Amino acid sequence: MSDNDGLTSVDAVALRRFLDGENAIVREHTRAIVARPEFAKGDSNPPTSQYRELVMEWARMLARSGGPSLLFPREFGGLERVGAAIAGFETLAHSDLSLLVKCGVQFGLFGGAVHHLGTRKHHERYLADIASLELPGCFAMSETGHGSNVQELETTATWEQDAGEFVIDTPSESACKDYIGNAACHGRMAAVFCQLVVGGESRGVHALLVPIRGEDGSPAEGVEIEDCGEKLGLNGVDNGRLRFSGVRVERDALLDRYGEVTPEGEYRSPIENMNRRFFTMLGTLIQGRVSVGGAAISATKSALAIAIRHGARRRQFGPPEGDEVPILDFRAHQRRLLPPLATTYALHFAQEEVVAQLDRIFGGIGDEGDDAERDRRALETRAAGLKAVATWHATETIQTCREACGGAGYMSVNRLGDLKADTDVFTTFEGDNTILLQLVSKSLLTGYRDHFGELGPLATAGFVAGQVWETVVERSAGREILQRLTDDLVPARERDEDLLDRDYHLSLFRWREDHILAGAARRLRRGMDDDSDQFAVFNDCQDHVLAAARAHVQREILESFCRAVERADGDLRDVLAVLCDLYALAEVERDRAWFQEHGRISSTRAKMVTRRVNELCAAVRPQAEELVDAFGIPDQVLAAPIGLPGGGASRSGMADIGDEMPNVAEILERVGEEALA
């Protein structure tokens, strides 16, 4: 059962500590860094050239703070604490998002490629300079003609045995490396993803380190650099377009963890199968996807903090002959903001688990055994689904927050416009969300096939038998009749309390996932039985498999939230229980047509769900400000006048910035390894 059906009081400081989790030290010191006056943007819309240089200077300050060293191995000057690094990255996302992306490109993507795809010689030569920003770099994967379909990239790296060099070429206009962060102004080297050609044979996509600028900033020989220009948002990031014409690089430029070329011109790889090698290579770069999902959640928290505080202070209308009331007291306004607040809490705890899983797997370069590979595949699936759902939630919620703040929300100074523009691309970079959900669905269908065997009728008989009654009920409306009779007979109070049973919530989410997945599997099997083209069959079923993926991710999110409730104690547990109920029932309400169509809830029960969501919104309302205070966003960082209650300091407080820039790495070393364990 849920632990509480009302919300009395919230200790925002205690809740913030709970949310900060095991990486609280990193989060606190990241807040202190970005709250410093040096990180104030000043003009909300500076000229692009000026903005880019400002962001680069901020990135250098962060490099000096030691934060980027958390990503890299100790033997090369780092601390190798991936989870702590992502916690810092998530906290940075409350600040300027161009700075966030600039750092993500430099330390996460460029540095991550060298770290995870390179070998010791690359680590010794480059990692320290990458972490210090002495070597600004790019991650050159996307091309004009290919973004999601990385296996079909056109850029080539051809081995010339006589010269002992690779030759990098852009064979067509569609092969230009496009939208590459750090390329237009600051990058001096790029990790370029190419089709590797050795001895006239293609070996698939590999990454090579290619200098693109000299020390004086001019393009390297054979490299053309074009500025992509201004974008919808993130204009502090210098995105550029790269073309290569006969650019020669040494043999050691190949990042050769998964494939090397010997001095004799022989290609060798520890993974013989080209497809498996490719997906293993991409899997090591997953921290970027996890980071983007976390950044989206943080940006959503910022928007909700602004909108909820504004709603608690802004007064409009009221009872006849009475005073105007805060707009957050209106049920319609609560409905706009409080279910998204509960969802954001749910996503926070789901992200926390994914980051912990990532830290276990990639905290160091582990072995390549079957168990490790299975763990990586599971993480890839979970990260893909969460990134998609979190970034879509950010896009929807930030827009809702903008509307909830009226004209004030449209003013640049209140930041909601920047949050909208800067996060919009999150739904498509580090993986287009729809493609990511397809990856999730394929993983689910593979697991289904492995468990039941090729989706055949005999092998799935046991599973299908468990659903026969459900199918009959749907078609006959028998369940509707039975539940309607039950609804009429059971006292209303008992039925309402049943809606706050967390096991009931979980059963609904799990049943929806199982039902949609089984239906998608049967639909695909029927198509295969007709000897249809497999691509055409899957294409025809995309609506079904995407629905299965969404249901799967939402079930995982709810389970993560439930585990967080169980971890909490006392009043915090009561607070989180109410939010968990609101998240679950708001999702049931959103998808109530599906639940009713499939006989899982009656129309009477659907109305009860809506009534309960209203009651939970009313229960959350008195403590809504404390719930966003618990996000711990310093006033200097939020920097939105309408988001500071009473025009003064918010209850999350002004960050203690001190006289000197804190060095995160030194602090962690000083307090001991147990601070991150």
Give the residue-averaged pLDDT of 164-168: 97
Give the residue-averaged pLDDT of 272-290: 89
Give me the helices (H) in 21-144, please: 24-34, 48-64, 82-92, 97-103, 111-117, 120-122, 128-132
Amino acid occupying residue 10: V
The pLDDT, as a whole number, for residue 662 is 64
Q: CA–CA separation, 644 vs 635, rounded Å? A: 7
Q: CA–CA separation, 284 vs 334, rounded Å? A: 42
Residue from 403, 356, 406 nearest 382 by CA:
356
Beta bridge partners of 196: 157
Is the whole model's pTM more than 0.85, yes or no? Answer: yes
- Residue 667: pLDDT band (50, 70, 90) is low
Give the residue-averaged pLDDT of 553-581: 96
What's the burial of 611, exposed, middle or buried (CB within 10 Å: 0-12/13-18/19+)? middle
Do 538 and 545 contact (CB within 8 A), yes or no?
Answer: yes
- Residue 122: pLDDT band (50, 70, 90) is very high
- Residue 676: pLDDT band (50, 70, 90) is very low
Q: CA–CA separation, 423 vs 427, rounded Å? A: 8
Q: What's the chain's average pLDDT?
A: 87
Do 194 and 159 contact (CB within 8 A), yes or no?
Answer: no
Could you give the maximum distance between any two Cα atoms of the chain, in Å? 92
Domain edges within the chain: 138-265, 452-626
Do 491 and 498 contact (CB within 8 A), yes or no?
Answer: no
The pLDDT, as a whole number, for residue 660 is 65
The pLDDT, as a whole number, for residue 486 is 45
Question: pLDDT tens for residues 635-661?
Answer: 999 999 999 855 333 444 555 555 566
Give me the helices (H) in 568-644, please: 570-590, 592-597, 603-620, 624-629, 635-638
Structure tokens at 664: 């995160």
Residue holding tokens 């010997």? 262
Give the residue-averaged pLDDT of 608-634: 96
- Residue 185: pLDDT band (50, 70, 90) is very high
Q: What DSSP line would sit under 301-346, residue for residue?
A: HHHHHHHHHHHHH-EE--STTS--EEGGGSHHHHHHHHHHHHHHHH
Question: pLDDT tens for residues 52-81?
Answer: 999 999 999 999 988 888 888 888 878 888
Give the residue-averaged pLDDT of 509-534: 82
Kindly give, in sequence order, each residue whose CB lies less than 8 Å from that of residue 94, ignoring residues fewer than 6 positions away.
Answer: 31, 34, 298, 299, 301, 302, 631, 633, 637, 638
Instruction: Provide the total of helices (H) and of strands (E) in the chain, helices listed first.
Output: 27, 13
Hey, what CATH class is 138-265 in? mainly beta
The CATH architecture to which 452-626 belongs is Up-down Bundle (1.20)
Structure tokens at 320: 């006849």
CB atoms within 10 A of CB 22: 16
The two beta strands, 137-140 and 189-198, are: parallel
- Residue 369: pLDDT band (50, 70, 90) is low
Residue holding tokens 């090397």? 260
The pLDDT, as a whole number, for residue 484 is 41
Tell me which H or E stretch contains 211: strand 201-211
**Of the candidate ranges 211-225, 328-342, 347-361, 474-488, the one whose mean pLDDT is the lowest:** 474-488
- Residue 159: pLDDT band (50, 70, 90) is very high
**Of the candidate ranges 200-204, 309-313, 373-377, the one whose mean pLDDT is the lowest:** 373-377
- Residue 460: pLDDT band (50, 70, 90) is very low
The pLDDT, as a whole number, for residue 591 is 96
The pLDDT, as a whole number, for residue 478 is 44
- Residue 401: pLDDT band (50, 70, 90) is very high
Q: Is the pLDDT of residue 376 over 80?
A: yes
Do 346 and 558 contact (CB within 8 A), yes or no?
Answer: yes
- Residue 531: pLDDT band (50, 70, 90) is low
